[in-house]
Amino acid sequence: MKRIIYVVFALVLVASLLIFYLPSGCPTEQAFEQVLNLYGIDPLMLDPAISGEATSHGYIRQLFSGLVRLDAGLEPAPDIAQRWDLSDDSKTYTFHLRNNVFFHDGRKVKAEDFKYSWERALNPDTASQTAAIYLGDIVGASEVLAGYSEEISGVKVIGDYTLSVTIDEPKSYFLFKLTYVTAFVVDRDDVAEGDEWWRQPNGTGPFKLRQWDETSLLVLERNELYYDGLADVELVVFHLWAGRPMEMYEMGQIDISQVDFGYIDKVSDKAGAFYQDLVVIPELSFFYIGFNHSKPPFDDVIIRRAFSQAVDKDKLASLVFKDMVQPADGILPPGLPGFKEGLLGLDFDVDGAKELIATSSYGDVANLPPITITTSGWGGQISQELEAIIHQWRLNLGVEVEVRQLEPEVFLYNLLMEKDEMYYMGWIADYPHPQNFLDVLFASSSEYNYGEYSNPEVDALLKIASIEPDIKLSLELYQQIEQALVGDAAGLPLWFGQSYVLVKPYIKGYELNPLGYAGLASVSILSH
C-alpha cells in the first residue's frame, strides 16, 4: 500500500546521537564509537510485501534493498542490479545483478531470490495490498494475483545473476516502481520460519535488526557484509515513544528533530538559538479531503464542489500552519514532473458554494443526509487543521460534520471498508512521477482509490498517458487529467507539505529526501 501520511508533520523517525556509550536500556554494556540514537515509533510490519505505511518503511529501507534505488536526483539508479538493458520495444528489462550481495546471514543473493520474492508478494495467500500496484505491470502478474498461477510468466531467471522482466506496455515509470519496498528481495528460508519471520528478518540492507522491544527500543546494527559501503555508525538506537521530539531537542537530549507548529516562530527567528540549525526540505506530499463517491451526498458533483469552495485554504495555511505549507489548487505538488503553475482550482467562494447547494437536488443544507468524516487518531482528539475545516463548513454552509477516528496503526488497512462520507489523509510520493498520484489515487481500478471515484474519460486518458513514449506529451496528458479531476471535485486538495528539521552542526551526511526517507548509512558524527 502507498506510503500514506495521516496529519501534517506527524511524528517521524527523528535522529539523535550519543557518542561512546549506549543509553540505559540498550542490550549491551559494550562501548561503541559511533552510536546514532533516533526518536521513533513502533513499525506496524517489517514484511516488505505487506507493509503499506511510512513508519514501517523507514525501518524496512534500512533492513532490505531491491534491484534499483532512487539517487539524489530522484532518478532510478543501480542497487543490487549493477546495470540493466532495455529491449527495442521498451518492454523487457534485463537486470544484471552484483555477485557480491549477501543476506545478513551470509548467503549470496541471486536472481531466483527476486523471482521468489515477487511471486510471494503477488500470491493471494500473502494478502499484500501493494503488489497489484507496484508489480502489476509485469506480464503474468495478474494471473498470480488471481490465483491462476504460482509463477510470473514475465519474470525469467537467465542465470544466477541475470533476471529478465517483461511488462505489458512500455511505461516510463516502471523502474521507479521497483524502488518501492514491495519489490525488495526477501529470503525464502527466512519466510519459511513462520508468519512473524519479519520480527528477526534476514535482509540485505545496510543495517541488521539487533533488538526490538515494542514501545521501548528498536536497535539496528551495521551490516558488515553490505555491498555498497559500510555505514559510519555501528548501532542505530530508536527510542520508541520517548517524548516530544522538539522538547527533547531543546533540552539537548536529541540532535535532530522535526519542527512542531508551536515552535515555528522560535526556530525561524534569525536572532534565535535554533535558526542556524533549521533545514527546510521540499516534500512531494499532498494533503486532501477524500469524498466517498459511492454514498450520498458526495455522489453528486455539485455537492462536492460546494464543500470544496467553502474552505479557505489560504487562511488555514496562515493561521493553523504558520505558512509552513503551501495551499493546493491541484493534486501534483511543486517539484514533481507535471506540476502546473496556474492550474484552475475551485476557489474559495462562500456565496457560490451556497448557490450550488441551492441548485442541487437537495435544495438546502437541511436536506443533506448526516455527514461523517473518517480520520486517524486516538481519544477523540482531532488535528487542529481538521477542526478548523469542519468549523469553516459549519460557519460558511451551516453544515455539521461528525468525526470518526480509526487508530493510526490500522487506518490504512481499514479505510476502504470503514470510511464514511469523507476521509482526511495525506499522500507522499513513492516515486517522482504524476502517475503515482493521479493513477494510483483516482483510477477506477486502483486499490488506493478509497473514494471509489470513477470517470471513464479519466481512465482512458490515464491509460494513454502511461504508455506515451514522448515525456513532454505524457506530462501534458497528466496535466489535462489533473485539471479534469479538480473540475470534477474528485477530492478536495488542501495543501502541499514541506519538512522543517533542526539538525545539530556536528551531524554530517543526514539527508531527508522529498519522499520523506533518511539515508542513515550516510550519517557521520563529528567529535563535539
pLDDT, tens digit, 9 for 90 and up, residues 439-459: 999 999 998 899 999 999 999
Q: Which three cell numbers stand for residue 68?
A: 534499483
Same domain, 386 and 238: no
DSSP single-letter state for residue 107? P
pTM exceeds 0.75 for this model? yes
Instruction: Give the three-class secondary structure for 62.
Output: helix
Structural contact between residues 521 and 61, judged by C-beta atoms closer than 8 angstroms: no
Structural domain count of the chain: 3
- Domain CATH for 291: 3.10.105.10
Range of lowest pLDDT (32-36, 172-176, 248-252, 409-413): 409-413
458-492 pLDDT, tens per residue?
Answer: 999 999 999 998 999 999 999 999 999 999 999 99
Regarding whether 144 and 100 lie in a shared domain, the answer is yes
pLDDT tens track for 254-270: 778 888 877 888 888 88
pLDDT at residue 165, rounded to an integer: 98
- The upper half-sphere exposure of residue 432, i.e. CA atoms within 13 Å in the direction of its Cβ, equals 21
On whether both 400 and 519 belong to a single domain, the answer is: no
Residue 283 burial by Cβ neighbours in a 10 Å radius (0-12, 13-18, 19+): buried
Beta strand 401-406 pairing with 371-376: parallel
CA distance 228 to 74: 18
Q: Are residues 442 and 368 in the same domain?
A: yes
Domain that holds residue 78: 65-188
Cell of 345: 482550482
In this structure, are residues 286 and 331 in contact, taking their beta carbons and an 8 Å threshold?
Answer: yes
DSSP assignment letter at 515 = T
Paired residues of 406 in beta bridges: 376
Residues 406-436: tens digit of each pLDDT: 887 678 777 777 789 999 999 999 999 999 9
The angle that helices 301-309 and 384-397 make with each other, rounded to 10 degrees, is 110
Assess whether 381 and 507 both reside in one domain. no
What CATH number does the domain containing 83 carry?
3.90.76.10
Contact 96, 83 (CB under 8 A): yes
Rounded Cα gap, residues 206 and 179, in angstroms? 16
Least confident of 123-137, 283-297, 410-424: 410-424
Residue 196 lies in a domain: no
Maximum CA pair distance of the chain?
A: 73
Q: Is omega for the bond preceding 297 within 30 degrees of 0, making it cis?
A: yes
- Assess whether 108 and 225 both reside in one domain: no
Backbone angles phi, psi at 199, to 5 degrees: -75, -15
Quick one: which of 361, 345, 222, 346 has its CA closest to 298? 361
Q: Do 303 and 332 fall into the same domain?
A: yes
